[in-house]
């Protein structure tokens, strides 16, 4: 099934991620896999709260960015309101991830290593 924008419904949840870690690493129990996933997220969160970016090679960078105050509109009544300065979370995808997601380009097969001579 797809949502109104044509995207597949039911994205990857933390529970589904835990299941995948459990399935791919046979030496872990499901509870251990859940702890691994939880610790990864806790570590990422702690770094972001300390103001340090989280860089995941070939995936992207999560970082806390300051947002300036600005004027906005209350959608309930149309009145202008001031939105004070605050911090937001941003994600910059790695070029490799962007290429993998871009369906407009034809994918070339992975380059094979040269044979030894």
pLDDT in tens, 16-57: 999 999 999 888 999 999 999 999 999 999 999 999 999 999
* Neighbour-count burial for 74-88, b at 16+ CB within 10 Å, e otherwise: eeeeeeeeeeeeeee
CATH of 53-103, one of 3.40.50.970, 3.40.50.410, 4.10.520.10, 2.60.40.10: 4.10.520.10
CATH 4.10.520.10 boundaries in the chain = 53-103
* 94-104: burial string, b at 16+ Cβ within 10 Å, e else: eeeeeeeeeee
Cα gap 66→89, rounded to integer Å = 9
State pTM to two decimals.
Answer: 0.70
Under 8 Å between Cβ of 66 and 85: yes
């Amino acid at each position: 099934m797809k949502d109104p924008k044509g995207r597949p419904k039911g994205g990857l949840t933390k529970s589904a991620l835990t299941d995948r870690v459990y399935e791919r690493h046979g030496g872990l129990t499901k509870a251990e896999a859940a702890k691994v996933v939880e610790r990864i997220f806790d570590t990422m969160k702690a770094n972001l709260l300390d103001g340090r970016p989280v860089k995941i090679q070939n995936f992207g960078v999560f970082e806390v960015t300051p947002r300036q105050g600005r004027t906005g509109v209350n959608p309930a009544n149309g009145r202008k309101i001031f939105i004070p300065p605050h911090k937001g979370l941003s994600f910059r995808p790695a070029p490799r991830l962007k290429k993998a997601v871009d369906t407009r380009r034809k994918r070339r097969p992975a380059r094979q290593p040269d044979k030894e001579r």
